[in-house]
Structure 1
Amino acid sequence: MIIYLQAITAIDGNTNPTFDEKLAFIDAVQKGQNIASGVAASAVGVSNNASGAGSNAVGLGNTASGNRSSALGSKNTASGSNSSAVGFENTASNGDLNNAFGAYNKNNGAAKNTAVGIGNIINSSAWGTNALGYSNNVSNLYGSAIGTKNTVTVVGGNAIGLNNIVTGGYANAIGTGNTVIGQNGAAVGSGLADYAGNLGPQALLTPVSYTPTFSSVGGVTTLDGVVIKTSAAEWAALSANPSLLTEVNGQSVTAAQATDIINNFKQGGNLALSNRSSVFGINSKAVAAGATAIGLNSVADEANTISVGRAGAEKRITNVATGTADTDAINKKQLDSEVLTLNTRIDNLPTGGSTP
């Protein structure tokens, strides 16, 4: 590292250091000593540098350059004002009041963000977000990713669990392997895939042991019961090039959405594709506006409907109470009773053309 004398303008609050003081400062840096050059700053340990006003660097190789910032542990960097980096190789930079606690966390959000755990990332546009756990990623306002390998890219999105993806505004994904693309959507449950990978600063966990069912009959192509726009010839290439998928259930999808959708199908996760759609269960898909899919392998592909199965794999709804209101569902017992009453009336009709 080369340090030029003329580049040193202040040392430990002294805004007019002498030539000898500058030389002593350079000597201290080269020897790995602590440097507290900011006004009212402190550096304790080995090779720490506290250059921000009122900053603190404690431990080994920490840097606190933001005003009133704190870096504690080993190789942490706190460069945002009023920011804190505590643990090992954490970064709290860019905005005011950013915090990173644990190891390998990178909090580069605009302001007021917190990353806790290992390998979490908060990107520059984030404000008021939280990433808690292992290798989560948040890149927009007011979002939260809690657990392992969750991703939130939109305003007000929340992902809790393992490997969930939220790209719809104010949407929520809770469980394992869920994907929410529609605005105000929700997905709750688990995927069918097992996960394998290596632990490290950025966890790489990939779904294994699940293959979606692909069908192309009469010009209609389906993937796990969901109508998609692609050809049988293109299907083999979808994994390598998801952008070949351009339409799902008649709804156009972007290249980025196509990537999330294909990855979701690979892990047998729940998918809430459309605005205000919701999914509760395992490997279920809601691909129409306001639709709800419930249970295992269910598909809701008509707007404002509730589905508990899919075409060719229908399910019964049991323990249904007797309907009382005009818009209530009726159960089989109630229907049988009405059919019996109707049959009795038919049987009692006059016969042979006689008049009553």
Structure 2
Amino acid sequence: MNRIHRVIWSKVSGTWCVVGELAKSRGTGKSLTQTRSHVTIAALTSLTGIMLSAPALANPSFINPDAVVLGTNANATGAKDVAIGTNAFSDTGSSPGTNPYNYGTVVGTGAIGLGGGNSVFGGGATASNGINNLPLRGTAIGASSNVSATYGTALGFGASADAAYATAIGTNSSTGGRANTVSFGSAANERQLTNVAAGSADTDAVNLSQLNSLSTTTSNGLTSLSTGLSTTNSSVTALSTSTSIGMTSLSTGLASLSTIIGTGANLSQITSNITSLSTGAASLSTTIKPLTDAAAAAAAKGASFTGTTLGAANADGTVQTRGATGTAVSNVAASACTNVSGVDATGAGLCAQATKDGATALGSNAQAMASNTTAVGFRALASQSGSVAIGNNAQATGDPTVAIGQNSLAAGNNAVALGAGAQATASNSVALGAGSVADQANTVSLGSAGSERRITNVAAGINPTDAVNMSQLNKVQDQLGEIKRIAYSGVAMSMAMSGAVTSALERGEGRVGVGIGSYQGYGALALQFRAKSSSGNNTWGLGVSTTGSTWGLSAGIDFKVW
């Protein structure tokens, strides 16, 4: 009797099928070998009797050899992970180790588990913390369910557990970002919890029966409380009488106090306090004057003012600065030297200039002088439309350019300078790294004359314009060395062959010549045999030469024409 234990390829259905032991496979024989290598898949197929299309068994995209993968484009990268379903993906990275609690299991079309210890079941279900080398240990069960926090649990279609140790139960339930909670619904979509036993411990939930019992007890207590309040009301009446007498005494005391104030007692002290207040107000007026001046200046230019903290301020409201150039310190009025006048322009910093639409100048003496320019840092300058200058004295003066780093300069059109002191002065040039200089058009510089840099971690070039790495260069050098060896050996063998001379031949005579040759360190030996026919009408010869590893052969014959 046949036992169902084989998996073969069916040309008719185009699938892998479970069949009896006497059935034979036709076509794609090599895939059967692959099937045998996936013992788990073959066993599963044998037990369930399912049919799998060829892509489900051929070349699964798993990385870790201990993983179990089943499904088109399924992928399991962690040790002993399980990924079942089309596009199922389990990635525990380096987190699993030998701890079985960190192994991932993902089942369902498009299901994803990122991080150690996840259990994900359902189409489109996900458990991910965005970092594959940290344990998440989330559980997501249900299509489109999602767990995004440590030890979260989401059970039901669209359920979401987005806080640590939180559990969402039911379709579209959400934990709402609250850790250590259990949710049975979501905001405005709550659910009743039924069949709840009466709580007994302090942390147990209570049911409606317990709540109704509490209501009855409270009602009886309120009746007794009402009786007690009647007695209390009588006591309050007595208290009111006593309070009235006390208020009469208080009124008399206030009249006495009014008489004292009317006679001018302590008036000098009051006057002194008012004088002190006036002096403080005058001082405050001096302090806020720079602010009012700045606000007025901004309003005059159609701008608004927001406060900026400035260093080296003077008592008279002016501020010390070294200006856009030079080292000398001068005093300026902040409101007068700052200019933010373009539409959608922004300026912050002493004497910052943002004079065109969309310009942004941040920092003392930062200058964004054209539309949509950005200058950030002390003395940063962006002078052409769209240019960006970031860093102390960074200069983006080309059209448009980018200069990032202290004293960086991008002067050529469309140039980029990245790094302290980097200079890109030619059109379309790029200077990368501190002190790099790009002074030739359409070039990228990684240093300067005498201060060059290596480029590391370069992949092998593929396209004609790709850079090549040392590995590729070494291969070319090896190939050139082989070509040179062959060429030099050939020259040496040719010289040896030409040296294997023989004297003129008589009729019916044969001679042998031996020659040697040497070229560029390569030597060769040659042996040549020549003979003439007895009639004297034909001469023929055969020669061989060798370097010991390379051989050459020559042959020839002549005919007498007349």
Q: Which has the higher contact order (CA 8 A, sep 6+)?
A: 1
Is the strand fraction higher in 1 or 2?
1
Superposition TM-score, scaled by structure 2 size: 0.31
Superposition TM-score, scaled by structure 1 size: 0.47
Is the helix fraction higher in 1 or 2?
2
Q: Which of 1 and 2 has greater Rg?
A: 2
